[in-house]
C-alpha cells in the first residue's frame, strides 16, 4: 500500500472510532466529514431538522438516530411531510456520486421554490407516443 493510501486509511479509522466512542458516551452531536453530510462544519445532531436531497427529491427531515457501524454512517430520518422513516447509509469516505443522498442545513434550499420548479406533471401523451418493442 502506498504511503498516501495508508495515511487516508488511518484518518478514516481515527474518525470512525472517535465517532463511535462519542456515541457510546451518549453524545448527540457529531462532526462527520464525508460526502453525504453537507451541513455547516459537517455537524449533525440527533433531533435536528435538516433538508434531505437525493436526485430530484428535496424534503424536510428530522434525524432520529445516528449510528456508526462497520465503517458506515447510518442515519434514521423522519420525512415530516411524508410521515415515514428512512434508514440512510453510506461508507465513511469523502466521496460521492451525482444523485446520492445528502443532508443539508434546514435553510440551505427554498423547498417551496424547489417543488414548484421540479415537480411538473408527467405528459401522458408523450409517454404514450414512445414506441413499444416486443421481445419474443
Domain range annotation of the chain: 3-119
pLDDT score at 135:
66
Find the length of the chain: 136
Q: H or E stretch including 114?
A: helix 111-118
Model confidence pLDDT, tens digit, residues 29-85 = 999 988 899 999 999 999 999 999 988 888 999 999 999 998 999 999 999 988 999
pTM higher than the cut 0.75: yes
HSE-CB for 41 with a 13 A CA cutoff: 6
User: If you average pLDDT over residues 88-111, what whole number do you get?
Assistant: 86
Q: Greater confidence, 111 or 78?
A: 78
Amino acid at each position: 500500500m502506498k504511503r498516501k493510501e495508508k495515511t487516508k486509511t488511518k484518518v478514516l479509522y481515527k474518525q470512525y472510532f472517535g465517532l463511535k466512542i462519542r456515541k457510546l458516551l451518549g453524545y448527540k452531536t457529531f462532526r462527520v466529514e464525508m460526502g453525504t453530510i453537507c451541513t455547516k462544519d459537517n455537524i449533525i445532531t440527533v433531533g435536528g431538522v435538516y433538508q434531505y436531497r437525493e436526485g430530484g427529491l428535496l424534503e424536510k427531515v428530522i434525524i432520529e438516530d445516528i449510528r456508526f457501524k462497520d465503517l458506515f454512517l447510518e442515519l434514521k430520518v423522519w420525512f415530516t411531510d411524508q410521515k415515514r422513516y428512512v434508514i440512510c447509509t453510506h461508507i465513511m469516505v469523502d466521496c460521492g456520486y451525482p444523485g446520492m443522498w445528502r443532508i443539508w442545513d434546514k435553510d440551505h434550499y427554498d423547498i417551496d421554490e424547489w417543488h414548484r420548479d421540479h415537480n411538473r406533471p408527467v405528459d401522458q401523451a408523450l409517454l404514450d407516443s414512445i414506441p413499444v418493442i416486443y421481445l419474443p
